[in-house]
């Protein structure tokens, strides 16, 4: 039987980030995943500035060779739009495969061991049973995604689901038309458009109700449909569920959950990857001092604002009138949108934005109603 200090179930972004953070602190680390790299997944593929900072703390700097810069977010609905830039830094679009390759390479450089094509079948105390034998670990990390079995086996399933939607992703060969990540809104849901290269964009459509394909859903988004006219689809469409999940606890004994396994926010926030990376730092710090309670507390703090904002944005998804008022308010007072983005990427605390902006937003919305 193998012995290791940290065993990580799941070699997606959260598992690899946790591997890098713990290996950097001197732990021996094994990552096991059912699949072999590079692992793809349906994703909006947008990294906001806070995610880029966290990635650079792992020792990974994205460049124009592997990703594409965007300066802010544009909301588009019908024929109208409103946009705002991030304060100070930009975001980057990076294809999921490229991101996985970069994380995998960094973890391998540091000496992380991998068990690709290996399924984790059970946890018995400090022993992990895999499809290729047993491993004894001091710490066990569940980075096995939204349907985490580690979460179930370790008794951490208590919590609630706040949302469930379906996402379909398709890449297109098309030069990005400018330096914004776009969110196209309609009554069906949203289409997120992220530039991922000089000649490539990623489109993800997310909706509450089933839809057959990205192509069929484009009828709902006239501006985007016009942009994509004649663009060559690259590869096959890929689908995934996007869910909001809140769990009461993310640690039990010597087991910790990270990334989507520890709770998820709807894709609308574009924050899943940033959360995984920030949690990896917090987990590394906690394991270094041997105190998972520290991780439990930091995990709650990391999630607070993204959970609030994703729920607020889901209200805009559900209630068309609220969405139109909010977008009109942003158009009337662009600094409100900028402030929301600042909060979104952690550059401004929610409470600073809170009272002034909510009042301002209320006034703008009432102005719309009058
Ligand atoms: C439609 C959609 C759009 C999104 N858009 C964005 C976006 O634009 N920006 C953003 O930041 N986030 C986005 N997200 C969220 C982001 O994709 C997730 O938060 C992120 O993938 C979480 O990473 P993870 O490593 O926790 O989980 P996953 O990526 O799901 O990885 C889990 C890994 O665990 C492995 N595994 C599971 N069970 C076992 C087992 N028993 N044994 C071995 N291995 C196992 C799986 O094979 C998998 O590789 C989006 C999500 C969706 C669905």
pLDDT band at 265 (very low <50, low <70, confident <90, very high): very high
The answer on pLDDT for 359 being more than 70 is: no
Distance CA 336, CA 319 (A): 20
Return the ligand 1 atom nearest residue 204 CA: 1
Query: Is CATH 3.10.129.10 the right assignment for the domain spanning 2-40+47-56+96-162+245-310?
Result: no
Ligand 1 — pocket residues by CB below 6 A? 9-15, 32-35, 39, 41-46, 119-120, 143-145, 149, 167, 204, 206, 240, 242, 259-261, 267, 270-274, 276
6: left (phi over 0), alpha (psi -120 to 50) or beta: beta
Per-residue pLDDT at 370: 46
pLDDT digits (tens, 9 = 90+) for 301-349: 999 999 998 999 999 999 999 999 999 999 988 888 988 888 888 877 7
Bridge pairing between strands 29-33 and 159-173: unpaired
- Ligand 1 centre and the CA of 186: distance in Å? 26
pLDDT band at 78 (very low <50, low <70, confident <90, very high): confident
pLDDT digits (tens, 9 = 90+) for 215-255: 999 999 999 999 999 999 999 999 999 999 999 999 999 99
- Ligand 1 centre and the CA of 32: distance in Å? 15
Protein residue whose Cα sits closest to atom 1 of ligand 1: 167
Of 323, 348, 350, 351, which Cα lies nearest the Cα of 76?
Answer: 323
Q: Supply the DSSP symbol for 313.
A: H
Token match 């490229």: residue? 98
- Ligand 1 centre and the CA of 14: distance in Å? 8
Q: Which of helix, strand or coil describes residue 160?
A: strand
What percentage of the chain reaches a pLDDT higher than 70? 94
Q: Which of helix, strand or coil describes residue 36?
A: coil
- The residues, ordered by sequence, that sit 6+ positions from 318 with a Cβ below 8 Å of its Cβ are none
The answer on pLDDT for 166 being more than 70 is: yes
Q: Where are the alpha helices (DSSP H) in 139-250?
A: 149-153, 214-217, 222-228
- What average pLDDT does this structure show over 84-111? 96
Per-residue pLDDT at 351: 66
- Ligand 1 centre and the CA of 116: distance in Å? 16
Q: Distances from the Cα of 314 to the Cαs of 73, 202, 308, 322, 364, in angstroms? A: 17, 22, 10, 11, 20
Domain with CATH 3.50.50.60 in the chain: 2-40+47-56+96-162+245-310
What percentage of the chain reaches a pLDDT higher than 90? 84
Per-residue pLDDT at 363: 55
Distance CA 107, CA 19 (A): 7
Q: Which of helix, strand or coil describes residue 221?
A: coil
Of 92, 108, 119, which Cα lies nearest the Cα of 38?
Answer: 108
Distance CA 168, CA 123 (A): 33
SS (H, E, C) 73-122: EEEEECCEEEEEECCCCCEEECCHHHHHHHHHHHHHHHCCEEEECCCEEE
**356/51: higher pLDDT:** 51
Protein residue whose Cα sits closest to atom 44 of ligand 1: 33
- What average pLDDT does this structure show over 112-123? 98
- Ligand 1 centre and the CA of 43: distance in Å? 8
């Amino acid at each position: 039987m193998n012995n290791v200090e940290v065993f990580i179930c799941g070699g997606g972004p959260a598992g690899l980030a946790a591997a890098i953070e713990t290996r950097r602190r001197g732990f021996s680390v094994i990552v096991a995943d059912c699949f072999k790299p590079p692992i793809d997944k349906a994703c909006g593929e947008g990294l906001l500035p806070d995610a880029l900072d966290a990635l650079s703390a792992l020792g990974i700097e994205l460049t124009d060779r592997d990703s594409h810069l965007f300066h802010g977010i544009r909301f588009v609905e019908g024929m109208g739009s409103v946009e705002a830039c991030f304060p100070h830094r930009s975001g980057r679009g990076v294809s999921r495969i490229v991101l996985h390759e970069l994380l995998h390479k960094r973890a391998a450089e540091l000496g992380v061991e991998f068990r690709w094509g290996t399924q984790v079948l059970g946890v018995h105390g400090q022993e992990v049973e895999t499809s290729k034998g047993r491993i004894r670990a001091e710490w066990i990390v569940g980075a096995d995604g939204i349907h985490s079995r580690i979460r179930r086996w370790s008794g951490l399933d208590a919590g609630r689901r706040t949302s469930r939607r379906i996402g379909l992703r398709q890449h297109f060969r098309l030069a990005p038309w400018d330096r914004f990540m776009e969110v196209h809104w309609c009554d069906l849901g949203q289409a997120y458009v992220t530039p991922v290269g000089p000649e490539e964009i990623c489109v993800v459509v997310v909706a509450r109700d089933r839809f057959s394909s990205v192509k069929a859903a484009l009828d709902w988004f006239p501006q985007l449909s016009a942009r994509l006219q004649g663009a060559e689809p690259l590869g096959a469409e890929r689908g995934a569920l996007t869910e909001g999940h809140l769990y009461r606890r993310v640690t039990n004994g010597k087991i910790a959950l990270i990334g989507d396994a520890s709770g998820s926010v709807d894709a609308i926030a574009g924050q899943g990857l940033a959360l995984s990376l920030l949690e990896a730092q917090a987990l590394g710090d906690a394991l270094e001092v041997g105190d998972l309670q520290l991780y439990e507390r930091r995990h709650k703090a990391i999630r607070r604002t993204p959970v609030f904002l994703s729920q607020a944005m889901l209200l805009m998804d559900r209630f068309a009138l609220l969405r139109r008022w909010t977008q009109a308010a942003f158009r009337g007072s662009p600094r409100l949108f900028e402030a929301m983005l600042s909060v979104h990427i952690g550059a401004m605390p929610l409470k600073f934005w809170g009272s002034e902006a909510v009042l301002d937003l209320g006034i703008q919305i009432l102005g719309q109603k009058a």
